[in-house]
Amino acid sequence: TLSESRPWTSTEGKVIEGKLIAFEDMTVEAAPGSAPTGSPTPPAHPTVVRDGKIRLLVNRKPVEVPLSRLIQSDQNFAETIRTAHSPKP
């Protein structure tokens, strides 16, 4: 996850509680018959915004939300997270 759980508000005033997550799915591989060890390593530069959408984890399910459907302060929050995770020149 890229943020703690927080309320996200649509431009229509609907509020959903969710965590901002990256578009990359992480998997852990293990040899047949053995349990995975450790935790997956997150990508160095996760994709926060793709095709004008963010991805939220809502009730343990990923949901894609167009940024244009969120109020400006939530768009700004997502942009702050995207900038923080962007590669540095």
Interatomic CA distance for residues 10 and 70, integer angstroms: 4
What pTM, to 2 d.p., does this model score?
0.76
Q: Given a cut of 60, is residue 43 above it in pLDDT?
A: yes
Place of tokens 């939530």: 74
Length of the chain measured in residues:
89
Token pair for 49:
């915004």
Place of tokens 């060890």: 37
Task: Judge whether 30 and 46 are in contact, CB under 8 Å.
Answer: no
Token pair for 9:
């508000």
Q: Given a cut of 90, is residue 39 above it in pLDDT?
A: no
Q: Given a cut of 70, is residue 38 above it in pLDDT?
A: no
Confidence of residue 88 (pLDDT cuts 50, 70, 90): confident
Residue type at position 15:
V
Q: Given a cut of 70, is residue 40 above it in pLDDT?
A: no
